[in-house]
Amino acid sequence: MTKAITPRSRKVRVLATLGPASNTPEMIEALYNAGADAFRLNMSHGDQAGKLPVIAAIRALEKKYGRPTTILADLQGPKLRVGRFAGGRAMLATGSRFVFDRSDVPGDATRVQLPHREIFAAIEVGARLLLDDGKLVLRVVEHDTDRIVTRVEVGGALSDNKGLNVPDVVVPVPALTEKDRSDLAFAVQAGVDWIALSFVQRPEDLMEARTLIEGKAALLAKIEKPAAIDRLEEIVEQCDGVMVARGDLGVELPPQNLPPLQKRIVEVSRRLGRPVVVATQMLESMITSPSPTRAEVSDVATAIYDGADAIMLSAESAAGDWPVESVAMMNAIGDAVERDPAHGDRIHFTVMRPDPTTADALAEAAKTIAATTGATAIVCYTTSGSTARRIARERPSVPILVLTPSTVTARRLGLLWGTHAVHTRDVESFEEMVAKAKRMALRHKIARAGETVIVLAGVPFKTPGSTNVLHVVRLTGEELKDFG
């Protein structure tokens, strides 16, 4: 018998990054109880062997609490870096000339090695080169196959192997490095639910990862390069989920451009029915402080009002001094925002137009019927998760109880807005469909005696992609009498 686990009171999901401050079984359970719905493993840090006990601890929660757990493995992606300097660092003066070349001779205040031949081929006059997370800004004045000559617009100290961003051109660097391929193979073998791909610039960048995953995990595209914005809809169409990765995106763009872009990425993802995660520096001050700033709370609230599926903690939960408190704060902000009477109107500022399919029409109808009749919940049967995604895309005013025979599907839905997934045996008939939906709604306390729920399913049963039934039922409270 399926255990009865009460759903979260909020619909937005909380994704917590695990790291040195939070990777023990005790801390992972504490984060879960504080409100974490899904866990991110940052493949940039630590080794693969060290991730195995963390994955096991997350899955142990599934057995203990009877609720599917969700794991996202975030690949590092290619890192563009300069070479080394004589003495370890150099001071680049504003207005001076500075050259990047192919020589491995240690650099100085006039030049340094750039060990990425792809940049020499792609760079253009007038393009910016950003160094050390955007602290230094250089502008290209001339270039050839072996040299890039720049003018320093914002100078400063530059030390060995600092990062380089090239925001104004598409750099023909594969999104997957050898390390990423190894990490991806490990993560899929370990049974993670989502793979996050960094350095996505074009829809083609997703193809290799999709091939290597072989359908064993869902693919999330991190939007962190300005080039990705130019082909945003194509990229979103080619992935299973999206992350607004505001760290690198904020380095490569003027900061004032980031808020409207965030809203655009969320809007496009919602319109195309892909879960969207807003990430990076959401509660940054809580790395060292037990309380966030008011501006940070407002930032998190804005993402929730925009209708993001999930909000993510990075260093706050992975390496900060207050990981549990950070998750609890995300949970509290989500609850407070969704209790706002204006929340429902605000998340529907994005107009959803259903595709001309029966499944989309029923998903939209379910939202409308719930609002009109005062139904308490929507219960949907799904094998692949597509029905749940269609309903969540509409952002109904009631929670979505998802019943699926697939453990894989149940786990992947941990990033989807408003859903409470239950892994359970499939049904064989219409009568069983209705009876089971009523029992599960009561057992999981998503509805009570006397309340109405809306049921969506597909006939013939056990046929993925066949959603064609919408049924409205009232609970008597006696449905569990013979089932305990």
Which residues are bridge partners to 40 per DSSP? 17, 72
Reading the block at residue 458, the tokens are: 């597909």
Which positions are catalytic? 40, 81, 222, 280
DSSP strand pairing (136-143 vs 128-131): antiparallel
Q: What DSSP designation does 285 have?
A: G
What letter would DSSP give residue 37? Answer: -
Residue 362 CB: number of other CB atoms within 10 A? Answer: 24
DSSP bridge partners of 218: 194
- H or E segment and range at residue 336: helix 323-339
Residues 6 or more apart whose Cβ sits within 8 Å of residue 482:
none
The answer to whether the beta carbons of residues 456 and 360 sit under 8 Å apart is: no
> Could you tell me the CA-to-CA distances from 312 to 16, 41, 59, 271, 278 in Å, in that order?
6, 12, 20, 21, 6
| Phi, psi of 297, rounded to the nearest 5 degrees | -60, -40
Using CA atoms, how far apart are residues 334 and 303, in angstroms rounded to an integer? 10
C-beta separation of 472 from 375 below 8 A: yes
CB neighbour list of residue 302: distance below 8 Å, 6 or more residues apart: 259
Q: How far apart are CA 164 and CA 136, in angstroms?
A: 10
Contact status, residue 162 vs residue 132, Cβ threshold 8 Å: yes
The answer to whether the CB of 137 falls within 8 A of the CB of 168 is no
